[in-house]
Amino acid sequence: MEQREALRLALVERAKEARKNSYCPYSGFAVGAALLCADGSVYAGCNIENAGFTATCCAERTAFFRAVNDGKRQFKAIAIVGGRKGQEPRELCAPCGVCRQVMAEFCGPEFEIVMTDGKELQVKKLEDLLPLAFGPGNLQ
């Protein structure tokens, strides 16, 4: 297997592991994410819901905010796994618009988003999922 593919699969496994900690009593939809930093470190996150629904944090943002809080600023890829709690994921879980915007704050167009339907990997670049992004460059 190609080394890059093996790395993506390992990242998906970390996302599955993180998904086990999902706090999703309202939606019953459990998500895990694993963020690969440029230095090789990996930060995982799960979705954390709230009775005041808007206070909910997606798995992707949990992972990003943990990493940024630790001083990380450069990222290569994120794996995302989501589906009904207690079941194996059967469909792709693509990042929501808010999470795409958070990615655009820290990542370039080549940043990889790895998703899976439980069978195959689907890999997209940030520029595919958020074309014409409004980012830090717009405020310079």
Binding site for ligand THU (CB under 6 A): 24, 27, 29, 31, 47, 49, 56, 58-60, 80, 82, 93, 95-96, 99
**Residue number, 31 or 126, with CB nearest to ligand THU:** 31
CB of 2 to ligand THU, least distance (A): 26
- Residue of 60, 91, 112, 127 marked catalytic: 60
CA 140 to chain centre: 27
Please, what's the largest Cα pairwise distance for the chain? 46
Whole-angstrom distance, CA of residue 84 vs CA of residue 74: 31
- On whether the CB atoms of residues 46 and 30 are closer than 8 A, the answer is yes
CB of 139 to ligand THU, least distance (A): 26
**Residue number, 1 or 111, with CB nearest to ligand THU:** 111
- On whether the CB atoms of residues 15 and 32 are closer than 8 A, the answer is yes
